[in-house]
Amino acid sequence: MREDVNEKCAVVGIFGHEEASRLAYFSLHALQHRGQEAAGISASDGEKLRIIKKRGLVMQVFDEDALSTLRGSSAIGHTRYSTAGDDSILDAQPVFARYDLGEMAIAHNGNLTNAEEVRGRLIKKGAIFQTFMDTENLIHLIAKSEEDKLTPRIIDAVQKIEGAFSLVFLSRTKMFAMRDRFGFRPLSLGRLSNGGYIVASETCAFDLVGAEFVRDIEPGELLIFKEGREPKSIKIFEPTPKHCIFEYVYFARPDSLVFGQSVYQTRKNMGKELSKIKPVDADLVVPVPDGGVPSAIGYAQESGIPYEMGIMRNHYIGRTFIEPTQEMRDLKVKMKLSPMTDIIRGKRVVVVDDSIVRGTTSRRIIRMLKEAGASEVHMRVSSPPTTDPCYYGVDTPDKDKLIAANMTQDEICEYIEADSLAFLDEDSLLRSVNTKEDNYCTACFTGNYIV
Ligand code: SF4
């Protein structure tokens, strides 16, 4: 259960459906786990772009009246996670602008690593920014490009940015979808039952609206959607895949296909690998819900130790307040997770979680299990120690707050008050996601940053 690492956003685009904004709305529901602070949809009826965005969950931002104003057969949408203090409605997306070629809206998942440099150059040339979002750089780059049409302007603009970006753009008559050359963040293409198209951060959105998965948008690829023709693909960058492996570890929903693979199956594989390399003599395997569930199932299947839901999660807490202090964070864990005392009492428990970031949540969970009568608690983590922050679209604490960057494994074990502690190693993690090639980013486990 992560309170300390958050995917920053999700994006969706619908093209060629008369209920485009409604489909975007349902898709954003499916993608809500990637951001709960704000949501927005921009739709086009071919003549005008309309936009609604607000702070809040998707269902709080939109109602029937709001959706009925978002007319047209194309729409893009966004859900946003924002860090404490960064809660302005101005920072909700899509970002909308009027410029010399008309109107455009952009939704972005990722993080531009040269955003400050680009912004500084634009400001020197007289650009005025309304937000702190790196996405706004793109609006200015497109508006200021000397190309005379939108497609070459988008190509011109994305060649000036670096880092992680899965983007959807909407103009009055076209929709565009694009991934950076490394493909850090996922973006998939699906076909709607009426022949229209959907692009989304995760395929769980396709399932909800009855769309069929077609393929991932390739790293470095720009897809252009225009009425009456098949999507046109342009390779902007030579693909150099470095997909975010943390999508498999924690972010993506288990029922999604991400980077071409089932998230659920890869998580189960992680649990199996963990059981092979870090076995322990115990009576029960218990997941930390929800993130640890598939890997705990894998651990139990491989080890033969019975699997039990020894911890219940209260799903109705949500992000109701910011937790500035450790005491508040501890209280929130208590509100969220409760032990199944009858199952735990007197048992040697293997507790499986997806990752350890600060260590405070793990300590609280282990204390809770021991208070519930567990005779031993062995912590097994289905990813390697998180030693470095992410610069590619994931909100992580600074390095000095990452427990694995500041303590040895034995010290962490003592800190979280476990009887034993073991992590998955990098090779086993890569084996779990079925790759022999070096096409994943693992920088938060290794410090090997790509850009
Ligand atoms: S640093 Fe970690 S979280 Fe960030 S993109 Fe790489 S693997 Fe994903």
CB of 246 within 6 A of ligand 1: the answer is yes
Please say whether the dihedral angle defined by the alpha carbons of residues 122, 125, 129 and 132, taken in this order, is positive or negative: positive
Residue where a domain terminates, one of 208, 226, 241: 241
Q: Given this model, what pLDDT does residue 322 score? A: 46
* 244 assigned to active site: no
Residue 292 belongs to some domain of the structure: yes
- Pairwise CA distance, residues 166 & 161, whole Å: 12
Task: Say yes or no: 279 and 210 in one domain.
Answer: no
Which residue lies with its CA nearest to atom 2 of ligand 1?
Answer: 444
Q: Confirm or reject: Cβ of 443 under 6 Å from ligand 1.
A: yes
Q: Are residues 48 and 143 in the same domain?
A: yes
**Cα–Cα dist 29/205, whole Å:** 8
Nearest-angstrom CA–CA distance, 428 and 269 = 9
Report mean pLDDT in 10-residue bins for the chain, 451 residues: 68 98 98 93 97 94 96 97 59 93 95 92 90 90 95 96 96 98 97 98 96 97 96 97 95 95 97 97 96 97 98 73 61 82 97 94 94 97 96 88 95 97 96 83 93 81
Cα separation of 335 and 75, whole Å? 38
Residue linked to tokens 């909800």: 208
Confidence (pLDDT) at 324? 56
Residues 286 and 153 in one domain: no
Spacing, Cα 26 to ligand 1 middle (Å) = 27
Residue 409 sits in a domain whose CATH number is 3.40.50.2020
**For ligand 1, mutation pick of 426, 444, 451 (most atoms within 8 Å of CB):** 444
Whether residue 221 is found in the same domain as residue 282: no
DSSP single-letter state for residue 384: -
Say how many Å lie between the first and final Cα of the chain, rounded: 29
DSSP state of 399: G
Asked whether residue 69 falls in the same domain as residue 200, the answer is yes
**Ligand 1, residues 2, 4, 201, 245: which to mutate, most atoms within 8 A of Cβ?**
245
Residue 246 located in a structural domain: no
Nearest CA, atom 8, ligand 1: 244
CATH, residue 155: 3.60.20.10
Burial 349-358 (b: 16+ CB within 10 A, else e): bbbbbbbbbb
Backbone phi, psi, residue 278, to 5°: -135, 65
**Apex 168 CA angle, 435 and 35, nearest 5:** 75
Cα separations (Å) of 54 from 29, 87, 93, 97?
15, 11, 9, 17
Let me know if residue 13 belongs to a domain. Answer: yes
| Nearest atom (ligand 1) to Cα of 5 | 3
Q: Give the H or E element holding residue 439.
A: none
Count of the separate structural domains present in the chain:
2
> Do 226 and 299 fall within a single domain?
no
Q: Which residues contact 146 (CB under 8 A, 6 or more apart)?
A: 156
Q: With beta carbons less than 8 A apart as the criterion, state whether 1 and 353 touch.
A: yes
Residue 203 shares a structural domain with residue 291: no
Among 193, 191, 195, smallest CA distance to 203 is for: 191
pLDDT at 167: 97
pLDDT at 131: 85
204 neighbors 30 (Cβ within 8 angstroms): yes
Counting atoms of ligand 1 from 1, which one is nearest the CA of 443? 1
Q: Is the CB of 252 under 6 A from ligand 1?
A: no
d(CA 210, CA 39): 22
> Residue 445 domain-assigned?
no
Q: Is 28 in the pocket of ligand 1 (CB under 6 A)?
A: no
**319 and 420 assigned to the same domain:** yes
For residue 272, the CA-to-ligand 1 centroid distance in Å is: 23
Specify if 108 maps to a domain.
yes
Structural domain containing residue 43: 6-241
CB-neighbour burial class of residue 147 (10 A; exposed 0-12, middle 13-18, buried 19+): middle
Q: Is 392 in the pocket of ligand 1 (CB under 6 A)?
A: yes
Site to probe by mutation for ligand 1, drawn from 390, 424, 451 as the one with most ligand atoms within 8 Å of Cβ, is 390
Please report where in the chains the tokens 């893009």 appear, as a residue: 76
User: Are 231 and 281 in a shared domain?
Assistant: no
The answer to whether residue 55 sits within a structural domain is: yes
Structure token pair of residue 381: 């983590």
Cα(386) to centroid(ligand 1), Å: 10
Residues 229 and 275 in one domain: no
Mark whether 232 and 270 lie in a shared domain.
no
- Position in ligand 1 atom list of the atom nearest CA 389: 1
Q: Which of 184, 185, 395 to mutate to test the pocket of ligand 1 (most atoms within 8 A of CB)?
A: 184
Helix, strand, or coil here: 261?
A: strand
Instruction: Report which ligand 1 atom has the smallest distance to the Cα of 442.
Output: 7
Q: Which H or E run includes 75?
A: strand 74-80
Atom of ligand 1 nearest to the CA of 184: 5
- Cβ–ligand 1 distance for 248 under 6 Å, the answer no
Distance in angstroms (rounded) separating the CA atoms of residues 206 and 194: 13
* Any atom of ligand 1 within 6 Å of the Cβ of 133: no
Quick count: other Cβ atoms within 10 Å of Cβ 146?
7
Q: Is residue 261 part of a domain?
A: no
Of 9, 204, 413, 441, the active-site residue reads 9
| Shared domain check, 287 and 202 | no
Determine if the peptide bond prior to 94 is cis (ω within 30°).
Answer: yes
DSSP strand pairing (440-441 vs 284-287): unpaired
CA dist 265 and 269 (Å) reads 6
Q: Does the C-beta of 433 come closer than 6 Å to ligand 1?
A: no
Q: Is 381 in the pocket of ligand 1 (CB under 6 A)?
A: no
Q: Which residue has the tokens 């659920």?
A: 264
